[in-house]
Amino acid sequence: MMMSNELSWLPDLINKLDKKSVREAYGSTLVSIGIDKNVVVLDADLSTSTHTSMFQKKYPDRFFNVGISENNMMGVASGLSWTGKKVFVSSFAIFATGRAYDFVRQSVCYADSDVRIVATHAGLTVGEDGATHQMLEDIGLMSGLPRMRVLVPADARETEQIIRYVYENRGPFYVRLSREKVPVIHDSDTFRYGKAETIIDGDDVTIIATGILVAAAKVASNHLKQGGISARVLNMATIKPIDRDSVVKAARETGRIVTAEEHSIYNGLGSRVSEVVTESYPVQVKRLGVYDTFGESGKSWELMDKYSLNPMGIVNSVKEIMKVNK
Amino acid sequence: MQGSVQSENLEFIAKEVRKSIVKMTFEAKSGHPGGSLSVTEILTYLYFRELNVDPANPNWPDRDRFVLSKGHATPALYSVLATKGFFDKSLLLGFRKISSLLQGHVVNHVPGVDITAGSLGQGLSNAVGLALAARIDKKNYRVYAVIGDGEADEGSIWEAALSAAHLKLSNLIVFLDRNMIQLDGFTEEILTLGDLEAKFTSFGWASTTINGHSFDEIARAVEWAKKLKGPKMIIAKTVKGKGVKFMENNPEYHGKPVPNEEKLNEALRDIEAM
């Protein structure tokens, strides 16, 4: 087991964090699309955390804080949407998808309502609040719902593009955001709905990552290159519908796949990739994620290191899968 | 009273709706006749005297909205919508059957249906959203909803109640079908609801209690509701299974149709004799 500072989140990666968190990028993008009078935003007493408060300041007549009632919020959102409103609802991922699941299922998805759920504070990087607030099952919950599309940006710039995309297209959508500032991945607009983005090309193995883990995958790939392993890195910002072609191409061309996500290994990116691979081009897949456990309190990046959701975790997963013959 | 109700005509329609409820659920061999028979007068009154809707143009943006939050009372709603002309009556016989338009619980792809419901406690929140949109758009339409008394067990009903009062939604008028029975038995034995009028009043609603089978009382309550500010709750005391003697106040007929042709004819005779 290698021990190297450069492969943990502390301190090197932290020094390269974006000036803006993805949730701040969400708030500022909401303000710019708020020019459209049909945009209505709801929040459930977390607006200063989700940054929908930025929209509230600019458009107080089209912002509604429903209080701590996520179920009611989803129903109100559905009702609003059926009058032609383009509705955004925000809360923490745990409440927006877990607490309100049946409302999302019936009033949003089954009713086919034009609603975008943009949830922040997903995953372990909630930090000190601990397991009660660290949502690790939301990608699974939302992906299982007919009509729902699931998006996870890797940085602030991609968040801006994704929020614009879901604004311009009819819901329902689920956009998964995190709490912390994250490293910058993009210096240009690269998001294409339903398409994996090749961050680094490679031949020996493909690392398919989403959200914060894209930055870790980049570092891991560069490290592996020094050891003679050519690791492709794909940013899978659209989890559903997943880019089957890119997954199959990766399986065919590199023969091994590692997935990395700040989510349970069940029903998240790793599961989706595995489904595509087993159906279309069976190769070995190693899933890096949270292994059937709850989170805990701690500093975000310390937790990510403890749970191996860091460059080292990815490097170790790659080395393990490299032992398997193609 | 202003705009007095032509009771005869409404009573005739309500009878036809009741017969349709019994026949639809018999034909489907499933469904919820009890809670459909209890809301028959409310739905008949709303669609034939009150709601500003146009069957030829069901998505007209300025129409009044209606939300059947107790989304299992589809036999009543679909019968009323078909009678009103939103779709052909022949479709009623496909109710609950495979590949048919009319699903067991209410769905918004049916002409005339504004909101999908069925999982209890969600329609009222949707109604809050519709009423709020009218305010944002400075439109004058009203939003009517019907919730069940058993449905008031759901915590989300009270979230929505807080919301509607906080937002001072004067264009929201809700009926609560107080038939005293839910699936497993009598409401007060399963989860005491107590004085619902007082509860909604304490939540900031204007509330009143009426006989939900009297068109005159429904008419008076709606006129009362239109004059007041804030959301309005009309507790409609009803009889579950109303009009069919062996179904009345019988929890067994919450979600069960008449069992055979003999009982069907008995039910239809009861309704005719009302």
Same domain, A60 and A119: yes
Same domain, A217 and A275: yes
pLDDT reported for residue A64: 98
User: Is position B1 within any domain?
Assistant: no
- pLDDT cut 90: percent of chain A above it: 92
CB distance from A36 to chain B under 8 Å? no
Chain A environment of B156 (Cβ under 8 Å): 69, 71-72, 75, 103
Number of domains in chain A: 2
pLDDT of A13 higher than 90 = no
pLDDT reported for residue A271: 98
Scan for tokens 């570092």, then name that residue: A219
Same domain, A34 and A168: yes
CATH code of the domain in which A238 resides: 3.40.50.920
CB distance from A44 to chain B under 8 Å? no
pLDDT reported for residue B232: 98
Average pLDDT, chain A: 95
Q: Is A14 exposed, middle or buried (0-12, 13-18, 19+ CB in 10 A)?
A: middle
Same domain, A311 and A218: yes
User: Is position A122 within any domain?
Assistant: yes
User: Is position A71 within any domain?
Assistant: yes
Write out pLDDT tens, residues B174-222. Answer: 999 999 999 999 999 999 999 999 999 999 999 999 999 999 999 999 9
Residue B252 is part of which domain span?
A: 7-272
- d(C-alpha A36, C-alpha A43), whole Å: 19
User: Is position B228 within any domain?
Assistant: yes
User: Is position B266 within any domain?
Assistant: yes
Write out pLDDT tens, residues A92-124. Answer: 999 999 999 999 999 999 999 999 999 999 999
Same domain, A77 and A101: yes
Chain A residue with the nearest C-alpha to that of B122 = A75
pTM: 0.95
Same domain, A239 and A93: no
Same domain, A210 and A253: yes
Closest Cα to residue B145, out of B183, B108, B171?
B171
CATH code of the domain in which B81 resides: 3.40.50.970
Residue A263 is part of which domain span?
A: 192-322
Number of domains in chain B: 1
Chain B environment of A112 (Cβ under 8 Å): 108
- d(C-alpha A89, C-alpha A96), whole Å: 8
Confidence grade of residue A4 (pLDDT, cut at 50, 70, 90): low
CB distance from A171 to chain B under 8 Å? no
User: Is position B63 within any domain?
Assistant: yes
pLDDT in tens, chain B (274 residues): 334 455 559 999 999 999 999 999 999 999 999 999 999 999 999 999 999 999 999 999 999 999 999 999 999 999 999 999 999 999 999 999 999 999 999 999 999 999 999 999 999 999 999 999 999 999 999 999 999 999 999 999 999 999 999 999 999 999 999 999 999 999 999 999 999 999 999 999 999 999 999 999 999 999 999 999 999 999 999 999 999 999 999 999 999 999 999 999 999 999 999 9
pLDDT of A322 higher than 80 = yes
Same domain, A177 and A196: no
CATH code of the domain in which A168 resides: 3.40.50.970
Q: Do A78 and B129 touch (CB under 8 A)?
A: yes
- d(C-alpha B157, C-alpha A31), whole Å: 32
pLDDT reported for residue A6: 72
User: Is position A303 within any domain?
Assistant: yes
User: Is position B2 within any domain?
Assistant: no
User: ipTM value of the model?
Assistant: 0.95
Write out pLDDT tens, residues A180-233. Answer: 988 899 999 999 999 999 999 999 999 999 999 999 999 999 999 999 999 999
Final residue before a domain boundary, out of A136, A156, A183: A183
Per the CB < 8 A criterion, the answer to whether B125 and B163 are in contact is: yes
